[in-house]
Amino acid sequence: MKAFITGISGFVGSHLAEYLLEETDCEVAGTAFGPLDNIAHLENRLQVYLAELSQLGVVSSILRSAKPDYIFHLAAQPLTSLSHKDPWYTLDTNIRMQLNILEAVRQLELPCRVLVVGSSEVYGLVRPDELPGSEDNPFRPMNPYGVSKVAQDMLGLQYWMSHGLETVRVRPFNHIGPRQRPGFVAPDFAKQVAEAEAGLRAPVIRVGSLEVARDFSDVRDVVRAYYLAVSRGEAGEVYNIGSGKARSIRSLLEGLLKLSTISLAYDEDAAQLRPVDVPSVQADCSRFQRQTGWTPEIPFEKSLLDILDYWRASVRAPRDTDLQ
């Protein structure tokens, strides 16, 4: 089988490439736009197309060459914070790339399955009596990123109903792990801890709201779910992917502080607060678990340790002159 990953050099894409190469018999290819550091160790085992996906002709040419059996569409503008600052960039980028993937598959008549990666952000304002949230929860997105993911999700459904494309839609909840870039809560905290340990910043962690709760899964569990979704999921169906547990941001911070080699304090930074926020998010993943048997396996504490170790390795060690 041939697997094709858009955004293969990104946080999730690189972990998915590793999983497919190590745990399946898939040949793996994909597109990258930006640095290739995350997949440098896989260089000889991948076919990588350096391209951005805003032009249908480019996408069609690549897929005609790759002839994939499975397409994992991960390329996106993923930051909710950036979507507030530049809504149109997020909408244009995410919707256009999704449309080009689906339209290229349709026009080329490729006999492949397409994983449409949405987000729990489509649910937005989930009320307490709606938790844990199922796939039947209404869409109430609270940021432009969530709106872009609604559009991607619905395009996947539309191309299944209108053209018979074998799309499988997933709505992942928060996922964390090594290689996730700053702009998300876990790497933002872990990077500060690692820098403080290395003497590169004061021992004070800047934080946003700590009382909101999110459903965190390890990215390595999530990519395993993506493979099961595209290989065993029902075409036209949609599945939540998450841990099924709501954990406060405070618990994530405290978990990292316990792993630190130094004593650290924290202080609220108003700039990190979202314009609007949902108090608690929790996934109902029973539909996906019934379909595939998937359950998360990696403990939350291991995820935190691996994230912190990643950032420890990323920051430079202090020199004597740095401390004078």
Domain with 194 in it: 185-214+246-283+298-323
| 266 located within any domain | yes
Question: Which amino acid is residue 88, in one-letter code?
Answer: W
What pLDDT sits at residue 192? 97
What pLDDT sits at residue 269? 79
What pLDDT sits at residue 102? 98
Asked if residues 99 and 151 have their Cβ atoms less than 8 Å apart, the reply is: no
Residues 63, 139: one domain?
Answer: yes
- Indicate the pLDDT class of residue 292, thresholds 50, 70 and 90: very high
- Indicate the pLDDT class of residue 273, thresholds 50, 70 and 90: low
| 290 located within any domain | no
How many CA atoms, within 13 angstroms, populate the side-chain half-sphere of residue 58? 13
The DSSP output letter for 85 is H
Q: Which is nearest to 70 in space by CA: 231, 208, 266? A: 231
| 263 located within any domain | yes
Residues 267, 192: one domain?
Answer: yes
Give every CB contact of residue 278 below 8 A, 6+ residues apart in sequence. 124, 125, 126, 142, 212
Residues 52, 17: one domain?
Answer: yes
Domain total of the chain:
2
| 140 located within any domain | yes
Q: Region of 244 please: left (phi>0), alpha (psi -120 to 50) or beta.
A: left
Residues 109, 125: one domain?
Answer: yes
91-95, 119-123, 316-320, range with the lowest pLDDT: 316-320
Q: Within 10 A of 141 (CB to CB), how many other CB atoms are there?
A: 17
Residue 9, pLDDT > 50, answer yes
Residues 233, 314: one domain?
Answer: no
Residues 46, 33: one domain?
Answer: yes
For CA atoms 102, 105, 108, 109, the dihedral sign is: negative
The DSSP output letter for 133 is B
Strand partners, 218: 176
Question: What CATH number is given to the structural domain containing 273?
Answer: 3.90.25.10
Residues 197, 264: one domain?
Answer: yes
Residues 114, 234: one domain?
Answer: yes
Cα 166 from Cα 155, distance rounded (Å)? 12
| 289 located within any domain | no
Asked if residues 213 and 43 have their Cβ atoms less than 8 Å apart, the reply is: no
The stretch 275-286 carries a mean pLDDT of 88
pLDDT digits (tens, 9 = 90+) for 121-153: 999 999 999 999 999 999 999 999 999 999 999
The stretch 269-279 carries a mean pLDDT of 71
- Indicate the pLDDT class of residue 323, thresholds 50, 70 and 90: very low
| 292 located within any domain | no
Residues 199, 225: one domain?
Answer: no
Residues 152, 137: one domain?
Answer: yes
What pLDDT sits at residue 220? 98
The stretch 183-194 carries a mean pLDDT of 97
| 308 located within any domain | yes
CA distance to 77, 155, 250, 302, per residue, from 246 (Å):
25, 29, 12, 17
| 92 located within any domain | yes
pLDDT digits (tens, 9 = 90+) for 13-68: 999 999 999 999 999 999 999 999 999 999 899 999 999 999 999 999 999 999 99
Residues 62, 190: one domain?
Answer: no
The DSSP output letter for 183 is T
Residue 322, pLDDT > 60, answer no
Asked if residues 224 and 241 have their Cβ atoms less than 8 Å apart, the reply is: no
Residues 61, 109: one domain?
Answer: yes
Cα 78 from Cα 145, distance rounded (Å)? 7
Cα 167 from Cα 189, distance rounded (Å)? 36
What pLDDT sits at residue 276? 62
Residue 258, pLDDT > 60, answer yes
- Indicate the pLDDT class of residue 268, thresholds 50, 70 and 90: confident
The stretch 245-273 carries a mean pLDDT of 92
Tokens of 151: 């559009």
